[in-house]
Homo-oligomer: A and B are copies of this chain.
Amino acid sequence: MQICISSTGLYLPPRIQSSAELSNLIGRSEEWILSRTGVHQRRVAEEGMDVLAAKAVLATIGDGPRPDCIINASLTPVQLIPDSAVFIQKALEWEGVPCWSVHATCLSFVVALLNASGLIQAGIYRRILVVSAEAGTPWRNLEQPESAALFGDGAAAALIEQSQGESAVLDWIMYTWPEGSELTEFRGGGTRRPPGHPETSSEDNLFNMQGPKVFRMVLMHISQVLRTLFERNGLTFEDIDLFILHQASGPGMEAFVKLGFPREKIVNIVADHGNCVAASIPMTLAIANEQGRLRRGDRVLIGGTGAGLSIAFALLQW
């Protein structure tokens, strides 16, 4: 698909929570947190995800015109109805601009990027803004130190446009294995454990993650997914200029190195930001872009893993 990510933008909530500070809340030492998660600090939002998202959108758009459409690609909603895209649009005061949400847990941004690319390629819209914002730190389960130490808040966005040059989505691959559906959960918020229902426990309304099991399941599948993608494009790891990955955890990022991704080509923000759920991928992209690590013509692999379990990658020519 001949599309181009013409701009990216980032918004970081100002409050930083260090792992030293968090260690008191979860009853584990700072060293324990660093060795298990690799996260030194994370942002903790005091604003809603709609406000974070709007700020990331404005950072992306700058003085440019409004986009034709907004796709919200976040996990933690403002409320169930209307969908969060409406509240982001409301915060922007962009009356009329159509908007909706795409939900694929931590892969929401790449899935939304794919959907946006299809609509641009088909000529439905010319400029689509995809934004991910997470303000889910209040939902960390402090009784589950390993997952509680992982998560952080943040927001980032990208503007997708028709490509004037060589920029394109060269390929796309995605699989979902629902045997992983109970490994990363927020069991509340739906009809199974409804909010306010007497049988819904307080733990149901917090993030719940069995990290080591997720990790094993990812390792079981990811090599084959990558092999399929690389073989059908006649590429090797060495042919990729930059890897923009979901920042699942420190050990998760190390696993990509062990798989053969050259370390210096992996943009790693997990130590400073933790796992920002759906916002991790666009935050990594925006930070790489700020650092000048993305050059037109480069081959960029963007994707990773998400609760489900899903694995997805888009192969871009930047």
Contact = CB atoms under 8 A, between A and B. Distances in A.
Interface of A: 1, 48-49, 69, 75-87, 89-90, 95-105, 107-108, 111, 114-115, 117-122, 124, 135-136, 138-139, 172, 174-179, 181, 184-196, 200, 202, 204-205, 207, 306-308, 310, 312
A89 B176 contact: yes
Given A117-B122, A118-B122, A196-B205, A99 B176 contact: yes
Most central of A75, A178, A186, A189 by chain B CB within 10 Å: A178
A175 B86 CA distance: 11
Most central of A1, A48, A119 by chain B CB within 10 Å: A119
Contacts of A89: 176, 178
B79 A190 contact: yes
A251 to B, nearest CB: 21
Q: Report the copy number of this chain in the oligomer.
A: 2
A151 to B, nearest CB: 12
A79 B178 contact: no
Given A95-B177, A174-B98, A195 B191 contact: no
Contacts of A82: 105, 178, 181, 184-185, 306-308
A142 to B, nearest CB: 14
A181 B48 CA distance: 16
Contacts of A118: 115, 117-122, 124
11 contacts: A48-B191, A76-B190, A78-B190, A79-B186, A79-B187, A79-B190, A86-B178, A100-B102, A118-B120, A121-B122, A194-B205
Contact of A104 (B83, B176, B308): B83
B195 A195 contact: yes
Contacts of A121: 118, 121-122
Contacts of A102: 100-103, 115
Given A95-B179, A136-B191, A105 B81 contact: yes
